[in-house]
């Protein structure tokens, strides 16, 4: 009887934890849709996709007008940070709601890597202004 109660309690805790995880994911997703892909200090966040394969992850990043010679990809802990300057400053005379000129000079993004990502052995390749980061799984 005690064992049964303990089992049910553990299951309930697991269910609650799963519900919280899903709710956090939804909040994160909603915030991502509201958050702009640029910052007023002249940084753009590139579009990217993470593909999951049995033995590795592949992060594909789209960075139009980037100067790929200035690319830097660093990993600290489970955070991957990418920076790359634009080939020439991109200037918009009236940008969206701020209604004043804005210049973009750099792409910048930070990505949380999955726990089994082996960043020490990652490979970075580019094709034009698109980037592929291949990260083996442990």
Interface contacts to another protein, rule CB under 8 A: 29, 33, 36-37, 44, 46-47, 49, 60, 62, 64-65, 90, 127, 129-130, 132
Nearer to another protein, 76 or 125 (CB): 125
Nearer to another protein, 126 or 137 (CB): 126
The rounded distance, in Å, linking the Cα atoms of 52 and 103 is 35
Nearer to another protein, 97 or 138 (CB): 97
The rounded distance, in Å, linking the Cα atoms of 1 and 114 is 39
Least CB distance to another protein at residue 11 (A) = 30
Find tokens 């999951």 and name the residue: 52
Phi-psi bin for 120: left (phi > 0), alpha (psi -120 to 50), beta? alpha
Least CB distance to another protein at residue 64 (A) = 4
Nearer to another protein, 60 or 111 (CB): 60
In the three-class reduction of DSSP (H, G, I as helix; E, B as strand; rest coil), residue 133 is classed as strand
The rounded distance, in Å, linking the Cα atoms of 23 and 86 is 37
Least CB distance to another protein at residue 33 (A) = 7
């Amino acid at each position: 009887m005690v064992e049964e109660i303990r089992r049910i309690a553990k299951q309930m805790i697991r269910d609650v934890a799963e519900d919280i995880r899903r709710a956090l994911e939804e909040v994160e997703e909603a915030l991502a849709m509201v958050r702009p892909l640029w910052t007023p200090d002249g940084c753009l966040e590139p579009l990217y996709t993470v593909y999951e394969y049995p033995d590795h992850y592949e992060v594909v990043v789209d960075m139009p007008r980037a100067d790929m010679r200035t690319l830097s990809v660093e990993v600290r802990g489970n955070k991957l940070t990418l920076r790359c300057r634009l080939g020439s400053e991109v200037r918009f005379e009236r940008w969206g709601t701020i209604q004043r000129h804005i210049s973009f000079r750099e792409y910048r993004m930070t990505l949380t890597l999955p726990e089994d990502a082996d960043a020490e052995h990652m490979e970075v390749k580019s094709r034009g202004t698109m980037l592929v980061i291949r990260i083996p799984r442990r």
